[in-house]
Structure 1
């Protein structure tokens, strides 16, 4: 590529210079097009990532906050431990589920009791 102060002195030099400038412009346009495509794909990937994993990140954060509580509402037990809230209600009427406390009309499950309840029902398998 000629320097900035290059000034073609012959017709051939001028033609060669113009040819190089046109080639440079074509290459630049092609690179700009490819860069635009890559950036558009990256934006699309970021949107997909945020749409897919964004709620999961919020959910993980919520579960971590719930885990720090001493006592959990049935819906929280369902989110953290996977025990269905309706099943817990059914077990309360039959006195077969995990121990709970009732404050006013509110049912709460102490986490220590939930963990003990689940540990007591753990079944160990013999994998040979």
Structure 2
């Protein structure tokens, strides 16, 4: 069975045109989500976790103990929001140098 090289090349191009947009969209989705989170002024605990790697449960524990970043609580709904600038400041204040970085 001898397949024409031009026909095979055209089939490959057609297949790539069909799947490439979906592949690129799927690959770009996490990047776009992170960029959208970076632009938000206030973050929910799950968004802080996605953006900064701080577990929502850790944030909750620190909040109860008064040790975490500043937050806003909606008294009616009980939802928690963290001003992103306060999360960043809180994390910066906890940076430590290792012995070999001095």
Q: Give me the TM-score of the superposition, normalised by structure 1.
A: 0.60
Moved more, 63-72 or 112-121: 63-72
Question: Considering only aligned residues, what root-mean-square deviation do their CA atoms show, in Å?
Answer: 2.8
Superposed counterparts of 1:26-65, under 5 Å: 33-42=4-13, 43=15, 47=19, 50-51=22-23, 53-65=24-36
The answer to which structure, 1 or 2, has the higher relative contact order (CA under 8 A, 6+ apart) is: 2
Match of 2:92 in 1: 119
Which residue of the other structure, out of 52, 66, 71, is the alignment partner of 1:100?
Answer: 71
Q: Quick one: structure 1 residues 38 and 113, their matched pair in 2 at CA, closer, same or farther if it must change by over 3 Å?
A: same
Q: Quick one: structure 1 residues 39 and 110, their matched pair in 2 at CA, closer, same or farther if it must change by over 3 Å?
A: same
In terms of Rg, which structure is larger? 1
Runs of 4 or more, structure 1, over 6 Å off, are none
Gaps in structure 2 of 5+ consecutive residues: none
Gaps in structure 1 of 5+ consecutive residues: 1-29
Q: Distance in 2 between matches of 1:92 and 1:70?
A: 19
